[in-house]
A and B are shown apart, each in its own frame.
Chain A
C-alpha cells in the first residue's frame, strides 16, 4: 500500500544554534526505517516524469522500489548504473527544479524525497566494499581536463566502456568545486574522496598538479596519443564589482574564502593555511555560493553575517533549502541593497561597506525585475570583512592556448549541444566551461553526454 502522507518523511538535522558554530554536516540523513517509509510514497507512475527531470537519467522508480523492499544494495546498483556520484547528487542537487519538481506527488503535497533516498543508498553502501570490477581495456586513450563533476562523470563512463582515461587536475586534490567550493557542512569531503577513489578503482588515472595550458597544452595531449580530449575545466574565475576599496585587506572573493576553508582546511588549527577571523561580515550576492560563504563565516565565529543582495528574496538564485538553513543559523538578509564602496582605515583594513537601497523596476532580459538605485539612500554597514560572491566565469587559460577552440563573448566554449563537440576535432567540453557557473548535476549530465559521443567518435574513426 502506498504511503499517502502529503509530507516527506522528516529528516534529522543538527540544531541550528549548535550547527551554526561547527562544520559537521547539517542534514543527518535517513535511517533504514525512514528511507523505507519514504520510499513507499512513490506511486510508480507509468510515464516516470521524475526521470525526465534528472540530467543523468537515474532510474528513479526502479531504485525506490528496491528501497521500499529493503534491498538497498540493489537500489544502489540501479542508481550507479547511470550516476557516478550519487552521494554527492543526493546532497547538492536542486531537486526542486529537477526530479522532485516533476514528481506527481508534488502536485498535492510534497514530492517524494528522491534526493534523500539517493543519498541514503549511497551512504548505506559507503562503507560496504562495493567491488568495482576493473573493465577490460579496449586499448583507446582519452584525456580529461579537470576533475570536477563534469570530468569525473565523463571519465567514469568512459572507463566503464574500457577506455584508458587520464584526468589532468590543476589542484593537488581531485573533485573541483565539490572539494574547494561546497562546504563540509553540506558535503563532507570524505564522501567526495570516496567517490573519487571508486573511480580510481575503475582504472581512471588522476594526475594532480597539472595545469593544462601551462604544463601541457590540449594540442600536446592530442599529439601524445590521446584520441579525444574532454574539457571540464569549469568557471573558476571570480568577478569583482569594480567599486572603490576592493583591494583593501579583508575583501575576499567567495572562491578564495571557500578555498581556504574547504580545500585548505583553514578552520582547523593544525592546518597551516590562515583565514581572517572576522567580527562582522558582508557577503555580496544571492546564489548558493553566497549562502556557503555566509554560513562558513558564521561557523568561523563571526558576530554578524549579512547577505547583501540587490534584488528581493523572491529573485534569489540560491536553493530555498539553503536560504532557509542560513536564516535558521542567524544570517541576516539585507535584500534590495547594493554596495557602492568598501571603506578602509589608514592601515588599509576594511571598516565598513557603503550601500545604497534599491527598488525593483521592469523585468530585464533575464525575466527578473531590474533593481534600480534609490538616490540618496546611502548608508554604512559596520563590517570588517567583505566577501564578493557575484559570480564567476571560465578561466581563459585553455581557450587561449588551444588552436581552433572557439568561445563566445562570455568566454564559454562553444559546443554542439547534442554531442558536446567543440569546434576542434576530437575535443569535447561540458559543464561550467560551456555554460558558465551552473549546477553540479548539469555538469555531470554534460560529462555523460560527452562520454557517449567520444565513444561513438572513436569507434567510427
Chain B
C-alpha cells in the first residue's frame, strides 16, 4: 500500500500527487515512470515520475483525468492509499553529450514530464528554452515551477488567451529561424504534437528526443503490449524507452495502437459513473 501524502488540483482536469514510496524515490531519475493499480479490480496504468524527494522518500505524479482509472485516482485524497505502485521503470533520459542549449517542449499535461527534464538539464548547467503549450489560459499548469528550471520559458496557447498565440511548433520554428542553435530538442506531450515537433526539426537536422506513451500492461518487458516501431524495428517502450529518436518513430502506428480499447474504455467510465453498460 502506498500513501498519498499530498494532493493538489492543478487545473480542472490535472492533479498532482506526492506518494510515499521510498524504494522508488531512492532510484528515480528523469525520464522514468511508475505503474499503479488502484485496487484489486483495477488495471495497471503507467505515469511518469514528475519529481522525487530522496530524503522524504516520496515521488510526485501529475496526471490528467481522461478515463476510468485516472478518475478513480483523482478521487483519492491525502492520507488515502494506492494498492500497488511499481518503479522506477524505463531507462532514464540520456542527454546529448556536451549539449549547450536545449529546447524542452511540453504539451498540456506533458509539461509535467517536461518539467523534470528541464530541471535536470538546467541543473547540469545547460541553457534550457522551455516551450509549454496549452489549449487555453485556464488549463495552464506549473508555470512558476517551469520558470524556475529554465533559462527562458515560452508559454503558448492555441487560442491566444495567454502568452503567445499558436502551437509549440510555431514557437520552436520561430526560435530556430531567429538563429538559435539547439543541440537537442526534447518533446513530450500528445502523440500528434510530438510528431509535428519532429517534422519541424527534421529539415534542420536537430536531434529530437520524444517520450512515447503507448498502452502498457506490466512495464517490465514481458508482454510487448507497448511495442513501437523505431527505425523499422520493434522496440518495447517500457524497457528500451520510453525515450526514442523522434525522427525514427512510426507515430501513425502508435496513434492507431493507442486507440485499441476505445470502446472498452467508454464502457469502463460508464460502469464507474453508474451509466449503462
Taking CB atoms, residues of chain A closer than 8 Å to B84 are 172, 208-209
In the assembled complex, the CB of B67 is this many whole angstroms from the nearest CB of chain A, namely 9
Bound together, the chains give a CA A394 to CA B253 distance in angstroms of 27
Q: Pull 28 A–B residue pairs with CB atoms less than 8 Å apart, ordered by A.
A: A171-B218, A172-B37, A172-B83, A172-B86, A210-B86, A211-B86, A211-B89, A214-B87, A215-B88, A236-B220, A236-B222, A237-B221, A242-B234, A246-B234, A247-B234, A247-B253, A249-B256, A252-B225, A255-B223, A255-B224, A256-B224, A256-B225, A260-B217, A264-B217, A272-B68, A272-B69, A274-B265, A397-B221
Supposing A247-B250, A397-B239 touch, asked if A259 and B257 sit within 8 A by C-beta, the answer is: no
Taking CB atoms, residues of chain A closer than 8 Å to B24 are 215
Taking CB atoms, residues of chain B closer than 8 Å to A264 are 43-44, 217
Does A453 count as interface, using CB distance less than 8 angstroms? no
Check A247–B257 contact: CB distance below 8 A.
yes
Supposing A246-B234, A272-B41 touch, asked if A237 and B260 sit within 8 A by C-beta, the answer is: no
In the assembled complex, the CB of B189 is this many whole angstroms from the nearest CB of chain A, namely 22
Nearest to B222 among chain A residues (CB) is: A236
Does B229 count as interface, using CB distance less than 8 angstroms? yes
Does A166 count as interface, using CB distance less than 8 angstroms? no
Among the listed A170, A259, A348, which residue makes an inter-chain contact with B223, where contact means beta carbons less than 8 Å apart? Answer: A259
Interface hits, B191-225 → A, CB 8 Å: 217-218, 220-225
Is chain A's binding surface mostly helix, strand, loop or mixed?
Answer: loop
Does B227 count as interface, using CB distance less than 8 angstroms? yes
In the assembled complex, the CB of A183 is this many whole angstroms from the nearest CB of chain B, namely 16
Bound together, the chains give a CA A265 to CA B27 distance in angstroms of 31
Bound together, the chains give a CA A171 to CA B37 distance in angstroms of 11
Does B85 count as interface, using CB distance less than 8 angstroms? yes
Bound together, the chains give a CA A265 to CA B43 distance in angstroms of 9
Bound together, the chains give a CA A265 to CA B44 distance in angstroms of 12
Q: Residues 126-152 of chain B: 1 if any A CB is under 8 Å from the residue's CB, otherwise 0?
A: 000000000000000000000000000
Q: Residues 189-220 of chain A: 1 if any B CB is under 8 Å from the residue's CB, otherwise 0?
A: 00000000000000000001111001110000
Does B178 count as interface, using CB distance less than 8 angstroms? no
In the assembled complex, the CB of A121 is this many whole angstroms from the nearest CB of chain B, namely 31
Nearest to B258 among chain A residues (CB) is: A249
Check B69–A256 contact: CB distance below 8 A.
no
Check B222–A240 contact: CB distance below 8 A.
no
Among the listed A269, A271, A348, which residue makes an inter-chain contact with B256, where contact means beta carbons less than 8 Å apart? Answer: A348
Does A321 count as interface, using CB distance less than 8 angstroms? no
Taking CB atoms, residues of chain B closer than 8 Å to A274 are 43, 261, 264-265, 268
Interface hits, A274-306 → B, CB 8 Å: 274-276
